[in-house]
Structure 1
Amino acid sequence: MSNHVSGKRSAVTCQLKCANACLGPECNTSDNPHFRDIASAALTRRSVLGLGVAGAIGLVIAEAAGGAGAPAAFAGGGRGRSALAFDPIAPVNRLVDEFTVPQGYQWAPVIRWGDPLFSSTPAFDLAAQSPEAQAGQFGYNNDYLDILADPSGKTGVLVTNHEYVNPNIMFAPTDDPAEKQRRGDICKAAQGMAVVELRRRREGEPWQYQVDGRRNRRITVETVFELTGRAAGSDLVKTAEDPEGRWVKGTLGNCAGGTTPWGTVLSGEENFNGYFAWAADTPQQKRYSGSSTTSTETGWEAYDPRFDAHNPDFVNEPNRFGYIVEVDPEDPTSTPLKHTAMGRLKHEGANVIIAPDGRVVAYMGDDERNDYLYKFVSRDRYRGGKGHGARRKNMRLLSEGDLYVARFTGNSPVAEITGTGALPSDGRFDGIGEWVALTRDGESVVPGMSTEEVLVYTRLAADAVGATKMDRPEDVEPNPKTGKVYVALTNNSNRGSSSPVDEANPITGNRYGHVLELTETDGQAGRTFGWSILLLCGDPAVTGYTYFAGFPKELVSPISCPDNLAFDSEGNLWISTDGQPGTIGFNDGLFKVPLEGRERGHVQQFLSVPREAETCGPVIHDREGLVFVAVQHPGENGSIGAQTSLFPDYGSTAPGTAAAPRPSVVQVWSSDRRS
C-alpha cells in the first residue's frame, strides 16, 4: 500500500472511495492502438483534415456559448467585472488542519454533515446517529456542488453529491451484527444527493441554508430512479425486484456533475463497483470490477440481497449503476432519472453546452487508469422558456442521442515523446482527435454488440473501436466564453508500463497529472477536434518537468492532481485538486489559471483545505466576490477516538458533544463585504 499512497491518496481514501482500484488488476486490458502506434513521424500540422493543427486550435468556434441557439446561461459576459482580486496564498503543509484563504478574505461553512434539513429532524449528535435522522440531515462527503440563485438574488438552492462515507470516524468499533446493520443503514442514508434552499439579505452577501425550505430534499440509496434510453427495459438491467428493468433504487458513488441550461443537475455515478459482491467471471464484469469479491467495505450484501451479485436474482444489479443521473432541484417530489443513452462507466460527471443547431452536447470522463473520454450529442433540440413544463421536456434530451469516444493523434515524431516531459521540437504537446461513434441515430455501430450492450457495457464498446487510453480523465468542462473544452487528467502511475506514453499522455509514471485543452474543429456536435496540453502539473522547484502553457514556471503556484474544473465570468479556468498531500506534500486547494494573454498558464492558488481533505465542486461567482467549495473527507486517516481533523468547528461543539471532522460546503468572500 505504501507505494500506492505515495502516488496520490491516503490508503483509507482508496479503500473507502474506490475499493482500492489502483491496487487491483487493471480493468482495461485491451491492446487499443495508442496514437504513438498510428502517428506518422511525417505527420505535420498542415496534414490534418485540410487544416493545420495550429489553425484548428486557434479556430474561433462559431457555436461557442454565445452563438446562435445558446441559452443566456451559457453566453459568457454580462454586467460588471470580477470582484475576486487576490494575492495567491503560499502552499500549506499537509499536516496543517486549517482552511486557508487569501489576505482580505474570510470563510464559513454553508452547511455541514448532519445539519438538519427539516424541523422534524434532530440536530446532529455523533453519539446518537440513526438512519431516520440521517435521511433528513445533510449527507456525508459532499462532492459536486452548485449554488443556483433565484432571479431575486436573495434566495436560491444548493445541490450537491454525497459520494461515500468513512465509518472509522463516524462510529466506535463494534462486532455486533445488528449494530453493523443499523450503521449500514445510516451509511445508506448519508450517501446520494442533497437539495437545500438558501437565503440572504441582498445580492453579493454570503448565504444561509434554510431548515424546511420548500425545495429541501435528500436523495439516498433507497430513492427510486427511472431508467431512460434504449437500455431501459432490456434483459441486462432486469432483476427479481424490478422485472420491468425500469425502476432502480438508489444512486451510488456520486462524484462530479454538471448543471444544465434548463436548470437541472447532473450527477456522475463513479465508483459503484465497490458496493457489490460479484464474481467478475465474465469479460463484462471484469471490465468494470477488475476482480471478484465475496464481501464489500459496506457489508450491505450481508443483509440486503440486491448488493450480492452472486445471487441469481440480482446478478444484473450492478448494471443499473454507472450512469449519469438527472435531478430537478425545483421539484422535491419528482422522480430522478438515470440516462442509459450516455453510457455506463465510472462517470466523473457530465457538462453540457448547446450547439448552434440547438442539440445538447455533454462531455464526460471515465475516471480510471487508462480509460476514456466521451461525448454525447442529443437527438432532439433544446427548447427555451422557463417553468416546470419546459424543464420537464428538456429533461428528456439526454434520453436519446449518439455516444462517442475520443481517439487522439499526436503531430510530433514518436521518438520525440520520451516520457520525461521534454517538449517535442515544435515546442508543445499537441495534435488532432476524432470522436468515434458508438451509437448513431441511437443504434449501435459497434460490430458484434447490440445497442443495449453498448449502453450497458460501454467500456467494452470503446475498447472495440480503438479509443485512446488516458491518464484518468476526471472533470471535462466546456468554457462558456470560448467553447473550448478542458480535460482534467489526474494521474496514472502505470503510464509507461501497462500503457505506453503518447503525446496526449507524455509522462512515464504520471504522478502529478495534466490538463488538456480541446478545440472542436467542425462544430461542438462534430467529429473532429484539435488539442494541446495546457498544464503538466507538479512543483517546479522539485519536479523534473512541468509546463504551464509557456508561462514562467518559477512564478506559478505548485499544483498536483487536477480533479474538478470551473470557470469564472471572464473565462478563467479554476482547478480543484485531489492528491497533493501524497505527491507534492501540500494540502489540496483551489487554483485560478488565466487562459488568454500574457497571464495564460499563470497558476495562482486561491485557497487550501484542511488536513487529509479533498477540494471538490468549485463554484465561482466572481462578480459577487464569492467562491464555494465542497470539502470532502477532512481527517480521513483518523478514528473515532483519535481524530486528525476538527474541521470546520475546531472544537466549538455543544457541551458534551463529541468533536469530529464534518465534510462541509464552504463559502469564501471578501472581508470588506458585509457578512
Structure 2
Amino acid sequence: MAPLRELLPMAGHVRGKRSPVTCALKCDNACSKAICNTSSNSYFRDIVGTQLTRRAALGASAAGALAIAVTTAPSPSASSATAKGKSLAFKAIDPVHHEIDEFVVPNGYSWHPIVRWGDALFPDSEPFDPENQSVKKQRRQFGYNNDFLEIQVDRSGDGNRALLFANHEYSNDAIMYPDSMDEKTKRAISREAHGLTVVELERRNAKTPWAVDVNGANNRRFLIGTEYEFTGPAAGSDLLRTRDYPKGDKVQGTLGNCSGGLTPWGTLVSGEENFNSYFRAQGKSEADKRYGLTNDASAYGWEDDLQRFDTNKSGYGNEANRFGWIVEVDPRDPESTPLKHTSLGRFKHEGANITIAESGHAVAYMGDDEKFDYLYKFVSKGKYIEGDLPHNLTLLSEGDLFVAKFTGNSPKSEIDGSGAVPADGEFDGSGQWLPLITDGKSQVSGMAIDEVLVNTRLAADKVGPTKMDRCEDVEPNPVNGKIYVACTNNSDRGTDGKAAADEANPRTENRDGHIVELTERGGDHTGTEFDWSLLMVCGDPKQGDKTYFSGFPVDQVSPISCPDNVTFDSAGNLWISTDGAPDGIGYCDGLFKVTIEGKQRGRVEQFLSVPREGEVCGPLIHDDDKSAFVAVQHPGEDGSWANQHSQFPDFVDATDVDAGVAAMPRPSVVQVLRGKGKDNGKPPKKDSNGNNGNGRGNGNGRDN
C-alpha cells in the first residue's frame, strides 16, 4: 500500500469540512475519478401538468428508528399508536467551527460514550492498548468507524436491558497504529476491525446511560473470516463462484458497511457500500467500470496479503461480485449464519429500510450511493407473519425489484439549475417504479435474472430510471407512511455534459444536497406509481445559498448540508445526520431535527455537533427515554500517530498517566441524555477498561 498522502487526489478540492483522507479511505476518491454511470438512459423528463395531489401512505410499520421489545416485533399497524408521540425538547445550538474538538449538545443534556473502538466485548477481551494492538485482541474488541446503529430495548422487563448492533465501515491505519508497526500487521488488524458487532447493554434506570455488558449471551463479532450464506435467485450462480467457494453459495466477510435498518421481525440489515475500494481488478469490463473497479492498487493493499482481493488472480475473478449486497443478521442467535440477500440487487447500498404494506408484503427501500445512480424498491413474494421468525427470515430471499423514475410537473424553463423554486411554489411531481424483476423473471431484455441481480446497475441503466444526486439513507416514516430520501450531494450535476438539473435534483453542482419526500400512490407500498416533493434543498441561507425548506422562513433555520442518515422520533419528525458542511464553510457535522407537519414544516434545528473531522452516523431517537444516540465516525481523520487531531471521546491529556487511555481519537457510539446522566449523585459505572463513563454535562450547550 502506498503512503496515505500519496492516495489523496482530493486534497485541495474538497469543500466545507470534508477530509481528503475520508475520500481516499471511504469511497476510493470517487469524486476524482470518471463517473461510473455513463449510460445514455433518459435523465429526467420535465412536463407541464397539473400539480398532483399527494396522498398520505397507509399501513406503515413501526419498525425503523423506534426501539422495539426484544421479544416482540412491532405490528404493521402500529403507526397509529405513535402518532401522538412527543419529540425531544431543546434549544438549537449554533454551528461549531470545524477545528473545534468538542462534542456539543444543548443546554440541559449530557453525552456519554457507550462503546468505543477497542472496548472489550467479552470476559476474555484484553484491555485496549493502542501501542500494542494485535489481531487477536481486535477480534474480541469493538471495531473501528462504526456507522449504522440500532439499540433494541427490552420492554418486557424493567427496561434496563438492551441489544446494540453496529457495523464498521472502514479503517484509517495512519492514526490507529504506531509508526513502528509493520504495514502487514496493520493491515491484518484492520481487517478484523471491519465487520459487525452485536453487544448487550445494561443501565441502572432510564436516567442513567447505557453500558456494555461483557457477559451478554448474545455478544458477537462478525469478522473478515465469518461465513455468510447467499440467498435468492443469484445464490449458486456462476457469477458468484470462486476457487474458495466453487458452489457460489457462501462468502467470507462483509465490507464497506454503511447504513442499515431494523426489520419488522427484529433482525438487522446492513448495506455493503464502497466495496470496490478493497479490490484490484482488471478494470476493463463494462461491469468493472460500472462499479468503479480498476487495476490500480486498492486503497488498503489487502491484495498483497490475500489473493482473493485481486480479481486478476486465477480463481478469484468473481470475488468482487460477492460484495455490494444487503446483509441480514439475527442479533439474538449468536450461532446463526448471517445472510447476503441477492434478491435486493448488488450496488453500493447505503442500506435498506423495511416496512410492511397493508397486503402484508415486506417492502424495502434502498439507495445507491454514487453520483447519478438510482433509487430502488424491493417487494417480497411472501407475507409477514407476526411472531413467526423462521418464516419472516425468508421474506428478503424472493420478490420483485424496481428502480425509480421521477417526473416533474413544472416547465423545464423554471428548473434552471440555480435551485430557485418553481412558480407553483414547490419542487414536486409524480413517478414510476420500473420493474427489473417480477414474478421470478427478469424484465430486462438480454439479461438473465442472476445477471440482473449481480450487475444491477447495468440492468437499471437499460430501463431508464432517474439519475439522482447520491441517494443515501432511504427510510419510511412510521407515523405518516411517507418515504424520505437523503440525496447527499453531486458536485458534477450539470457539468461537462453530465446530466443536467431537473426538478428532483434542481441544482447544478449540487454540493449541499436535498431531501425527497415520496408518497406511494393510494398508500400502496407495493404499487408502481408514486407522488413526490422536495422537503428541503440544503445549504446556508446566510451565505447566499439558494435553499428551500418547504416554505419555512430560510432565515430561521440552522444551516445544514450533505444529509446522510435519517431517522424519526415518535411524533414523526425527521432527524438528519450530516456528512459535510455548507459549501465553503468549515462547520463540524451535526444532528438536526426537521419538523414535517403543520405550520413549522421545514424548520431545521441543530441538536448536536461532533468533534473535529468527525461524521455523524446511525442516529436514533428514543424520546420515551429522553435520549438520542449517534455513531461518531472518523474523528481526527487528518491526523497521524505522532500528531493526532482529536482526543474524542476521552479527551485525556497525553501526560495524564492515570487515565489509562492514549490521547487519540476513538470512533464511538454516544448517548445524549436529558439531564446529567447520574443516579442520585452516584458515580458513573466503570466501563470494561476500568474507565469512568466520561459524561459531559450542561456546560457544553451552545445557544443561538
Identify the match of residue 299 of structure 1 among 288, 298, 301. Answer: 301
Mapped partners of 1:401, 1:70: distance in 2:
22
My pick for the range that moved more, 584-593 or 294-303, is: 294-303
Evaluate the alpha carbon distance shift between residue 588 and residue 167 of structure 1 in structure 2; reply closer, same or farther with a 3 A threshold: same
Matched, 1:135 2:142: no
Mapped partners of 2:162, 2:177: distance in 1:
34
SS at match of 2:365: strand
SS at match of 1:109: strand
Q: Please say if residues 4 and 22 of structure 1, whose CA atoms lie closer than 8 Å, have aligned partners that are also in contact.
A: no
Counterpart in the other structure of 1:156:
162
The equivalences for 1:454-493 within 5 A come to 454-493=452-491
Matched, 1:453 2:420: no
Counterpart in the other structure of 1:246:
249
Q: Please say if residues 512 and 583 of structure 1, whose CA atoms lie closer than 8 Å, have aligned partners that are also in contact.
A: no
By how many angstroms is 1:561 displaced? 0.4
By how many angstroms is 1:543 displaced? 3.3
Identify the match of residue 173 of structure 1 among 179, 183, 193. Answer: 179
The equivalences for 1:53-132 within 5 A come to 53=52, 55=53, 57=54, 59-65=55-61, 71=75, 74-78=78-82, 81-82=85-86, 84-132=88-136
Counterpart in the other structure of 1:48:
none
By how many angstroms is 1:154 displaced? 1.3
Mapped partners of 1:126, 1:513: distance in 2:
37
Counterpart in the other structure of 2:14:
5
The equivalences for 1:603-642 within 5 A come to 603-642=604-643
Matched, 1:197 2:200: yes
Q: Please say if residues 9 and 582 of structure 1, whose CA atoms lie closer than 8 Å, have aligned partners that are also in contact.
A: no
Mapped partners of 1:598, 1:588: distance in 2:
27
Identify the match of residue 283 of structure 1 among 283, 286, 311. Answer: 286
CA deviations 1:143-178 (Å, max 9, x no partner) are 00011011221111100110000001012335x8xx
Evaluate the alpha carbon distance shift between residue 73 and residue 304 of structure 1 in structure 2; reply closer, same or farther with a 3 A threshold: farther
My pick for the range that moved more, 445-454 or 6-15, is: 6-15
Q: What one-letter code is carried by the residue in structure 1 that aligns with 2:520?
A: E
SS at match of 2:533: strand
The equivalences for 1:545-584 within 5 A come to 545-580=546-581, 583-584=584-585
Identify the match of residue 39 of structure 1 among 43, 46, 51. Answer: 46
Q: What one-letter code is carried by the residue in structure 1 that aligns with 2:626?
A: G
The equivalences for 1:372-521 within 5 A come to 372-385=374-387, 390-497=388-495, 498-521=498-521
By how many angstroms is 1:528 displaced? 0.5
Mapped partners of 1:402, 1:104: distance in 2:
48
By how many angstroms is 1:500 displaced? 0.8
SS at match of 1:471: coil
Counterpart in the other structure of 2:273:
270
Q: What one-letter code is carried by the residue in structure 2 that aligns with 1:333?
A: E
Matched, 1:28 2:37: yes
By how many angstroms is 1:584 displaced? 3.0
SS at match of 1:369: coil
User: How many residue pairs get matched?
Assistant: 653
By how many angstroms is 1:202 displaced? 2.6
By how many angstroms is 1:181 displaced? 2.1
The TM-score, its normalising length taken from structure 2, stands at 0.90
Counterpart in the other structure of 1:600:
601
Evaluate the alpha carbon distance shift between residue 670 and residue 83 of structure 1 in structure 2; reply closer, same or farther with a 3 A threshold: farther
Q: Please say if residues 65 and 482 of structure 1, whose CA atoms lie closer than 8 Å, have aligned partners that are also in contact.
A: no
- What is the percentage of aligned positions where both structures have the same residue? 55
Mapped partners of 1:217, 1:487: distance in 2:
31
By how many angstroms is 1:180 displaced? 2.1
Q: What one-letter code is carried by the residue in structure 1 that aligns with 2:117?
A: W
By how many angstroms is 1:8 displaced? 6.4
Q: Please say if residues 83 and 479 of structure 2, whose CA atoms lie closer than 8 Å, have aligned partners that are also in contact.
A: no
Mapped partners of 1:447, 1:8: distance in 2:
44
CA deviations 1:521-577 (Å, max 9, x no partner) are 041110010000111100110033011111001111010000000000000000000
By how many angstroms is 1:295 displaced? 1.6
CA deviations 1:222-271 (Å, max 9, x no partner) are 11000000000000000000001011000000000000011100000000
Q: Please say if residues 141 and 162 of structure 1, whose CA atoms lie closer than 8 Å, have aligned partners that are also in contact.
A: yes
By how many angstroms is 1:78 displaced? 4.7
Q: Please say if residues 566 and 620 of structure 1, whose CA atoms lie closer than 8 Å, have aligned partners that are also in contact.
A: yes
Q: Please say if residues 234 and 454 of structure 2, whose CA atoms lie closer than 8 Å, have aligned partners that are also in contact.
A: yes
Mapped partners of 2:215, 2:206: distance in 1:
22
Counterpart in the other structure of 1:346:
348
CA deviations 1:612-631 (Å, max 9, x no partner) are 00000000001210100000
Q: What one-letter code is carried by the residue in structure 2 that aligns with 1:39?
A: D
Identify the match of residue 186 of structure 2 among 183, 188, 194. Answer: 183
Mapped partners of 2:390, 2:168: distance in 1:
24
Mapped partners of 1:308, 1:426: distance in 2:
53
Q: Please say if residues 422 and 545 of structure 1, whose CA atoms lie closer than 8 Å, have aligned partners that are also in contact.
A: yes
Q: Please say if residues 91 and 106 of structure 2, whose CA atoms lie closer than 8 Å, have aligned partners that are also in contact.
A: yes
Mapped partners of 1:407, 1:156: distance in 2:
40
Q: Please say if residues 65 and 76 of structure 1, whose CA atoms lie closer than 8 Å, have aligned partners that are also in contact.
A: no
By how many angstroms is 1:74 displaced? 4.8
SS at match of 1:85: coil
Mapped partners of 1:425, 1:78: distance in 2:
36
The TM-score, its normalising length taken from structure 1, stands at 0.94
Counterpart in the other structure of 2:230:
227
Q: Please say if residues 83 and 571 of structure 2, whose CA atoms lie closer than 8 Å, have aligned partners that are also in contact.
A: no
My pick for the range that moved more, 583-592 or 140-149, is: 583-592
Matched, 1:18 2:27: yes
Mapped partners of 2:304, 2:76: distance in 1:
50
CA deviations 1:28-75 (Å, max 9, x no partner) are 00122122xx333x3322xxxxxxx1x2x1x132333479x9816852
Q: Please say if residues 229 and 340 of structure 1, whose CA atoms lie closer than 8 Å, have aligned partners that are also in contact.
A: yes
Q: What one-letter code is carried by the residue in structure 2 that aligns with 1:168?
A: A
Q: Please say if residues 372 and 469 of structure 2, whose CA atoms lie closer than 8 Å, have aligned partners that are also in contact.
A: yes
Q: What one-letter code is carried by the residue in structure 1 that aligns with 2:598?
A: G
Q: Please say if residues 204 and 626 of structure 1, whose CA atoms lie closer than 8 Å, have aligned partners that are also in contact.
A: no
Mapped partners of 1:263, 1:350: distance in 2:
14
CA RMSD of aligned residues (A): 1.8
Q: Please say if residues 16 and 582 of structure 2, whose CA atoms lie closer than 8 Å, have aligned partners that are also in contact.
A: no
Mapped partners of 1:475, 1:426: distance in 2:
28
Q: Please say if residues 231 and 340 of structure 2, whose CA atoms lie closer than 8 Å, have aligned partners that are also in contact.
A: yes
Evaluate the alpha carbon distance shift between residue 267 and residue 654 of structure 1 in structure 2; reply closer, same or farther with a 3 A threshold: farther
Counterpart in the other structure of 2:685:
none
Identify the match of residue 314 of structure 2 among 294, 312, 316. Answer: 312
Q: Please say if residues 268 and 347 of structure 1, whose CA atoms lie closer than 8 Å, have aligned partners that are also in contact.
A: yes
Mapped partners of 2:17, 2:383: distance in 1:
41
By how many angstroms is 1:128 displaced? 0.7
My pick for the range that moved more, 344-353 or 8-17, is: 8-17
Mapped partners of 1:553, 1:105: distance in 2:
27
The runs of at least 4 consecutive aligned structure 1 residues that moved more than 6 Å come to none
By how many angstroms is 1:9 displaced? 2.1
Q: Please say if residues 399 and 440 of structure 2, whose CA atoms lie closer than 8 Å, have aligned partners that are also in contact.
A: yes
